[in-house]
Amino acid sequence: MTKAKPRVPQNDIAKFFGCCGDTVRSVQRAAGLRLFPEMTSELENKIVEALRQGKGQNSVSKAFHVSTRKVHLLMVKHAIVRGPGNPGLPPDVRAKIVEAVAKRENFCVRIAKKVGVHPTTVQKIAHELLGEGPLLNHAWPPLQSPFPQREVREQIAKHVEKYVGSIFPLTDPPKPIQVINSEDALFLVDLVVRTCFGGIMPDNFVGFAEVLAEKWLEQIPREVWNSLNTSDQNFMRHSLAIEFLHATNTVRTMAVQSGGPVN
């Protein structure tokens, strides 16, 4: 039974001696071998101090070789309360993760390894910042999700809100006289590419322009959009798609001329 002292798993010990796990546990109890150390006042104080420093129950359990149940009981005993949103994560560590995610510095696993946390922690923060869509693990820049991302929609919504008054004159019913000019389309394409794609145009730039145009239209108030006849709606779709495609080509050309990245 000396094999139990280096904390070899009980199942491995049972397999080695050709017995069942219950036999190993019975021998351990009879020999006075404890799976966890005795909870002394000194150990309790160390655990409480670690918890008050913001460390999580699992990390404290592993650090002091104490069950998570005992760690939780100590939290209750000493009135250590944790709210939602993983407040146990030290503020400085969370700030590093937020900064790395905002810059799309790397994939969640790599960021987690760099700051010393579990990848799930980074994924939760990434979804808080970027939206609930699944994150792609094969596309660069990292932390992309199927287009459009939440921040893309927010940028488009702000743009539409700014220009919708000039696009739809106050007529009854509203009649579009100009959907968007070239300068505005270029501004929005460049903004979305820089903000959401690390300055790199998506591979399918034609599809990118079409989706951007469609998402732009979705931000128009529905009562205004529904008041237009089919001909006017098609006119807007066609005009937007052309303007955004021209803007996309312009951004790609500017990237080539400046020697920057372009797909």
Q: What are the boundaries of each domain within the chain?
A: 2-77, 89-143, 150-258
User: 219 and 199 in contact (C-beta within 8 Å)?
Assistant: no
Residue that has been written with the tokens 């069942």 in this structure: 20
In angstroms, the CA 125 to CA 102 distance is 10
Mean pLDDT of 219-245: 81
CB atoms within 10 A of CB 168: 20
The whole model's pTM is what? Answer: 0.42
DSSP code at position 149: P
Task: State the sign of the Cα–Cα–Cα–Cα dihedral 17, 21, 22, 28.
Answer: positive
Residue 1 pLDDT greater than 50, yes or no: no
What are the start-end ranges of the H helices in the chain? 10-17, 21-31, 41-52, 57-64, 68-77, 91-102, 108-115, 119-130, 150-167, 182-196, 205-218, 222-226, 230-258
In angstroms, the CA 38 to CA 66 distance is 9
Mean pLDDT of 214-237: 79
pLDDT at 149 (0 to 100):
59
Residue 119 pLDDT greater than 60, yes or no: yes
Residue that has been written with the tokens 């001696």 in this structure: 17
Higher confidence at residue 35 or residue 115? 115
pLDDT at 82 (0 to 100):
65
Residue 242 pLDDT class (50, 70, 90 cuts): confident
> Can you give the three-state secondary structure of 77-132, one letter per residue?
HCCCCCCCCCCCCCHHHHHHHHHHHHCCCCCHHHHHHHHCCCHHHHHHHHHHHHCC
Mean pLDDT of 73-100: 78
Mean pLDDT of 23-45: 75
Write the CB contacts of 76 (distance below 8 Å, at least 6 apart in sequence): none
pLDDT at 5 (0 to 100):
47
Asked which of 50-64, 142-156, 241-255 is least confident by mean pLDDT, the reply is: 142-156
Tokens for 38, please give them. 């005795």
pLDDT at 4 (0 to 100):
38
Residue 113 pLDDT greater than 80, yes or no: yes
Write the CB contacts of 143 (distance below 8 Å, at least 6 apart in sequence): 101, 104, 107, 108, 126, 130, 135
Residue 65 pLDDT greater than 50, yes or no: yes
Mean pLDDT of 63-71: 83
Tokens for 44, please give them. 């309790």
pLDDT at 36 (0 to 100):
65
User: 136 and 145 in contact (C-beta within 8 Å)?
Assistant: yes
Residue 150 pLDDT class (50, 70, 90 cuts): low
In angstroms, the CA 33 to CA 5 distance is 8
Residue 168 pLDDT greater than 80, yes or no: no
User: 203 and 140 in contact (C-beta within 8 Å)?
Assistant: no
CB atoms within 10 A of CB 244: 26
Mean pLDDT of 177-186: 72
Mean pLDDT of 76-103: 78
